Amino acid sequence: MRHFAEMFRRLDRTTKTNDKVAALADYFTTVESDQDKLWTIALLSHRRPKRTVNSKLLRAWAADYAGIDTWILEESYHVVGDLAETIALVLPPPDSLSDRPLTDWIEIVQSLAKYDEEGKREAVTDAWRVLDYTERYLFNKLITGNFRVGVSQKLMTRALSKATGIEETNLAHRLMGNWTPNDTTYDDLINSESATDDISRPYPFYLAYQLEQEPADLGGPEEWQAEHKWDGIRGQVIVRDDELFVWSRGEELVTDKYPEYAPLAELLPNGTVIDGEILPYRDGKPLGFNVLQTRIGRKKVSKKLMESAPISLMAYDLLEIEGEDIRPRPMSERRELLEKLLAENDTQGIVHLSPVVEWSTWEELAAERETSREKHSEGIMLKRKNSPYRQGRKKGDWWKWKIDPLTIDAVMMYAQRGHGRRANLFTDFTFGVWDGEKLVPFTKAYSGLTDKEFNRITAWVRKNTIESFGPVRSVKVKHVFEIGFEGIRESSRHKSGVALRFPRMLRWREDKPVHEANTKADLLAMLEMYG
């Protein structure tokens, strides 16, 4: 654990990419335990152990071990903003220090699941006795199943490439798939020449940046292919050895969640990998994301649900054909092969080819973009015709030109402290709209303001609190914010009757008095139009 904790300290001390890569590469080079390296790769690629102790028990055990009242720990937590860090701060110094490796501690965390409450308490407090502050913090994170470090999988892969000498693109592909440290070894995953032989293994997704410049600055229209940015779940459909595998962009194997795709194992030739959008689809056109949401998170898919929210795949790229990785080929060539594949293989309406927009000027494309919302699209995707299929988020060849968000002006009603580095600031807000003479809460938002604005609003909240409820404060009716969001749907769980998709603060409307904020009727009208 000591090497892992030191690596974490180095990562935590810097925001510079090169320094983070160096810290990780040094760790992978110096640590002798392959199993520790394997678990580190797993943790940094979101393969965390499951939660084995609930936070309520941890709070009680930590307060008792530290000899303090629970309310003191709770108040400390509200200030610190992170439970694992709060516990690490309040515990007394360790009795001694252990040199057990990271893998041992993860095995202890996993073994807690089979203990009764007293057994869990004993194992956790025994660990706290022999770990230093950083090690305790990391151990607590592992227990709660909430381990996160400010490092992307892309950075980790770059560091691993630096440490091993293996090309980054090869490593990125090897790290994809449905593996865990419990069913593979470091050597099999990283060094074995057969590391990519898993027939279910997807390719790393190529991700686009939001277009921030004028589209005309990209050059001539003849260099670009345009299609709609479909509003579903990004996925890869894989057919190999007469088996079907469906992966989401989040590296989740979702084959069983979409049984509509099952016939593709026989309808598509072996050695086929299609990149596309998992979409609800009926009568020749996509349905809204709200329909897809009824399928998300369902462990069992009933016949009734499949009828009310039928799923298709909107295909827009071909990554593998006849077992050959064709990602290095130009996009225009991959598109031709995709069209040929779908023309020669009847998928019985399960797979649809994403239509290419016909356009010759940027003005024509802008006009097409304005039709996006009625087509249940988020905007336009621009892809350079001669571009290969890269991995991760790269600038230059793929751009998403999204439509402007829906907006509504709302009044701040409640404020809550943030977490981590924002624990001393009020950053999470609840907003309301007018229903007659009263405000009805309808959404929360916590992003969109600058650090300077968060500091200003925090100072105002502290001076204008009406009531406190733990970390939450109700505030005077004073400030209006423009809230942006991507979609709206009916919801019986919210007092307002609606739920927003991706709400965020677009701007602080200091120019607008509260009585001019929008009303519940305005919100319901938007639901009628866009829901």
Task: Check if the beta carbon of residue 11 is closer than 8 Å to that of residue 24.
Answer: yes
Place of tokens 């595998």: 245
Rounded average pLDDT over 292-298: 83
Rounded average pLDDT over 277-296: 90
Query: What pLDDT does residue 491 have?
Result: 86
Instruction: Please determine, for residue 248, whether its predicted confidence score (pLDDT) is greater than 60.
Output: yes
Tokens of 427: 């950053």
Query: What pLDDT does residue 325 have?
Result: 95
Task: Check if the beta carbon of residue 326 is closer than 8 Å to that of residue 338.
Answer: no
In the chain, what are the domain boundaries? 1-144, 206-402, 406-530
Instruction: Please determine, for residue 78, whether its predicted confidence score (pLDDT) is greater than 90.
Output: no
Question: 524 Cβ partners below 8 Å, 6+ apart?
Answer: 497, 498
- Rounded Cα distance, 23 and 33, in Å: 17
Q: Which amino acid is at 452?
A: K
- Correct CATH for 1-144 of 1.20.140.10, 1.10.1040.10, 1.10.3260.10, 3.40.47.10: 1.10.3260.10
pLDDT interval class at 226 (50, 70, 90): very high
The residue ranking higher by pLDDT, 230 or 290, is 230
Query: What pLDDT does residue 420 have?
Result: 65
Place of tokens 């509003």: 231
Considering only the top CATH level, what class is 206-402? alpha beta
Least confident of 45-54, 233-242, 373-382: 45-54
pLDDT digit string, tens, across residues 410-465: 999 999 988 766 777 899 999 999 999 999 999 999 989 998 999 999 999 999 99
pLDDT digit string, tens, across residues 7-66: 999 988 888 889 999 999 999 999 999 999 999 999 988 888 888 888 899 999 999 999
DSSP state of 398: E
| Helix runs in 145-189, H state only | 153-164, 168-174, 186
Rounded average pLDDT over 314-334: 96
Tokens of 328: 């290095």
Place of tokens 């003849």: 222
- Rounded Cα distance, 138 and 133, in Å: 9
Element holding 18 (H helix, E strand): helix 17-30
Average pLDDT, the chain: 91
Query: What pLDDT does residue 199 have?
Result: 85
Question: 56 Cβ partners below 8 Å, 6+ apart?
Answer: none
Instruction: Please determine, for residue 363, whether its predicted confidence score (pLDDT) is greater than 70.
Output: yes
The residue ranking higher by pLDDT, 199 or 356, is 356
Number of H helices and number of E strands within the chain?
19, 22
- Correct CATH for 406-530 of 2.40.50.140, 1.20.1070.10, 2.40.40.20, 1.20.120.520: 2.40.50.140
Query: What pLDDT does residue 193 have?
Result: 64
Query: What pLDDT does residue 384 have?
Result: 96
User: In this structure, is the dihedral angle defined by the CA atoms of residues 114, 120, 126 and 132, taken in order, positive or negative?
Assistant: positive
**Apex CA 276: angle with CA 358 and CA 383, to 5°?**
45
Rounded average pLDDT over 100-106: 93
Instruction: Please determine, for residue 511, whether its predicted confidence score (pLDDT) is greater than 80.
Output: yes
Query: What pLDDT does residue 293 have?
Result: 85
481: which strand partners? 410, 508
Task: Check if the beta carbon of residue 268 is closer than 8 Å to that of residue 338.
Answer: no
- Rounded Cα distance, 342 and 334, in Å: 12
Query: What pLDDT does residue 421 have?
Result: 67
Query: What pLDDT does residue 194 have?
Result: 56
Between the alpha carbon of residue 9 and those of residues 40, 130, 354, the distances in Å are: 14, 18, 46
- % residues pLDDT > 90 (the chain): 66
pLDDT interval class at 261 (50, 70, 90): very high
How distant is the alpha carbon of residue 65 from its chain centre? 36
